[in-house]
Amino acid sequence: MGWGWCALGLSFAFFASSAFAGECSATLVGGQPALQHLNVETRLHFIRERLRDDAHHASVWSYSWGAIYSSLAIGQFIAAPVVSPASRPDFYVGGGASLIGLAPLLVAPLKVMQDEERLEGSQTEAPGADPCVSLARAEELLVRDAANEAEGRSLLFHGGNIVVNAGIFFIIGAGFGHWTSATISLLTGVATGEIMIFTQPVGALNALHAYRRGDVVSPTPVFRVAVVPLVARNASGVVLAMIF
């Protein structure tokens, strides 16, 4: 009888530890069966690693575009008083348009930058805490950040970019009769906005797709450089765009 209870106790301990260390539900992220059978620590490590990388890219993207739009706004506001009175309104409107481009970065920054810090801060768990609970919190952040990045690449933002620049086009063209400046502003404004949208990081979105498949092998980071044309008032050339 003693050996029987001992064997039963060892068996219970084995299955309990397997459940504790291994399978947690994958329904929160809509994962495939292969995901559920992965070790909890493996899944947590994948999410933390990918959100950490994505948060870094999001910070670089946000600060870079913030600097670009700030420079454009400040430059045009400084130049406005020293140009001819006829061209002055174009610079003021252009400076205001640059501030509009800066607004989304300040009002609605990518959520992954804060969520990654929140996830890193939750790594220290109380002894005996259920790892599935920690995993569920990490998955919630991954889903939230993926949705946020998908929204930033959605037709709503592309359409908003066109609508805002079309409004500026009519202000300069119909309001001041400067149709050439209005056309240049429209083309450069739409192009700049589209480059900003297309270079927005989507690391969390890609990570969620891979995670659902159970593909938790970290890929090699991809960094691309693209050369795009630049047409501006009294200037032309090319711009080196970093895509990450």
Residue 8 covered by a domain: no
Taking the C-alpha atoms of residue 149 and residue 137, their distance in angstroms, rounded to an integer, is 19
Taking the C-alpha atoms of residue 155 and residue 88, their distance in angstroms, rounded to an integer, is 34
Residue 104 covered by a domain: yes
Residue 85 covered by a domain: yes
Per-residue model confidence (pLDDT) at position 93: 95
Residue 227 covered by a domain: yes
Per-residue model confidence (pLDDT) at position 6: 37
* Run of H or E residues at 231: strand 224-232
Report which DSSP code applies to 28: G
Sign of CA dihedral 201, 207, 212, 215: positive
Taking the C-alpha atoms of residue 73 and residue 90, their distance in angstroms, rounded to an integer, is 12
Q: What is the tens place of the pLDDT at every residue in 90-138?
A: 999 999 999 999 999 999 999 999 999 888 877 665 556 788 888 999 9
**Contact indicator for 161, 204 with CB cutoff of 8 Å:** no
Per-residue model confidence (pLDDT) at position 36: 81
Domain boundaries, position 157: 31-117+129-243
Q: Which residues are CB-neighbours of 112 under 8 A, at least 6 positions away? A: 51, 54, 55, 58, 145, 148, 149, 201, 203, 204
Residue 11 covered by a domain: no
* Dihedral, 72, 78, 81, 84 alpha carbons, nearest 10: -50
Identity (one letter) of the amino acid at 143?
Answer: V
Q: What is the tens place of the pLDDT at every residue in 46-59?
A: 999 999 999 999 99
pTM: 0.79
Residue 23 covered by a domain: no
The total of structural domains in the chain comes to 1
Per-residue model confidence (pLDDT) at position 34: 83
Residues in the chain where the model's pLDDT stays below 50: 1-21, 220-223, 225, 227-229, 231-232, 234-236, 238, 244
